[in-house]
Amino acid sequence: MSTNLNILTVDLEEWFVVEAISGRFPVDDWTELPSTVVKNCHRLLELFHQKEVRATWFVLGWIADHYPELIREISAYGHEIGCHSYHHVRVDKLGPDIFREDTRRAMEAIERAINVRPSGYRAPSWSISSATPWAFEILAELGFTYDSSIFPIKHDLYGMPTGPRKMFKMTFRNGRSLYEIPSSTLRILGRNIPVSGGGYLRHSPYWYTRMMIKRLNKNDMPVMIYLHPWEIDPDLPRIENLTAVQKFRTYGSTALFKYKLERLLNDFDFINAADYITVKTRRKIGFERSE
């Protein structure tokens, strides 16, 4: 078992909202689609309980409104509940006012479910970037303590290639502040290589993931794992007329992913995002950045 602390997070959403098939299913049709979220969340809860690990679950507001008992159950197991927007609409498709309202609506749905206001936020599809700097200040205005929406890579759907790779603190002109926990990358030959979440984690052989995490931990950098409940489900509903890339991103390696996750939880130590910030700030590790 590793002596380094890493971060375990779950983006709690249904299989039909993922960016690879964005727009395929209108919001008005969501309640008519087969749901897998309760079944797969229970599988994750059982695994996390078995491994004695607590995660941060970034919850879609729509899920909190339709499955409040699930959110209460996750919270009762001692996991942190964060916010993942209401309808999983990319931040870069919203203006500041709509983003503020969408986020507030999601926060209220979560608070109705568990009577706790979330302190952490993650944007749908890593969609806060250099094009939407106003989003950080709005999150601080709404009372969030931290954000985890920056992915410092170049990707066809998202990314902030020049973004920071380590946790940092933003301080705004109005005196508010916000910690940022970027998605994990390893710097190789001048490029940031994604390491530990979503398809990167699902499709990579375990020996490769383990090696990359060890390299980051050796440099005193945590690895933040992010996953989705649908990724451990090999029996997801099949969608017709997908491209080869869409099929790969949606269904690839789902039969193996739970096995990889079990090994990961055996080999490394994990805590939730809020607890990690507490540990880091007590040790006074990290750096400040003003906006």
Domains, in order of start, for the chain: 5-285 (3.20.20.370)
Local confidence band at 276 (pLDDT 50, 70, 90 cut-offs): very high
Burial class (CB in 10 A: 0-12, 13-18, 19+), 168: middle
Q: Which of 43-47, 237-241, 244-248, 285-289 has the highest mean pLDDT?
A: 43-47
CA dihedral 138, 141, 142, 146 (to 10 degrees): 80
Could you say which DSSP state residue 183 is in? P
Length reported for the chain? 291
209 pLDDT exceeds 70?
yes
For residues 64 and 153, the model is more confident at 64
Asked whether the predicted pLDDT for residue 159 surpasses 70, the reply is no
Q: What is the pLDDT of residue 252?
A: 64
- Cβ distance 67 to 107 under 8 Å? no
- pLDDT(189) > 50: yes
CA distance 166 to 33: 39
Of 237 and 106, more confident: 106
Tell whether the model's pLDDT for residue 259 goes beyond 50: yes
How many helices (H) and strands (E) would you count in the chain?
10, 12
Least confident of 4-18, 92-106, 161-175, 240-254: 240-254
> Can you give the pLDDT at residue 155?
63
Q: Span 193-210, mean pLDDT?
A: 86
102-123 confidence digits (pLDDT tens): 999 999 999 999 999 999 999 9
pLDDT value of position 2 = 46
**Of all residues in the chain, what percent carry a pLDDT higher than 90?**
62
Spell 109-143 as b/e; 16+ CB within 10 A means b. Answer: bbeebbeeebbbbbbbbbbbbeebeebbbbbbebe
pTM of the model: 0.91
**Phi, psi dihedrals of residue 232, rounded to the nearest 5°:** -95, 10
pLDDT bucket at 277, cuts 50 / 70 / 90: very high
- How far is it, in rounded angstroms, from Cα 196 to Cα 265? 13
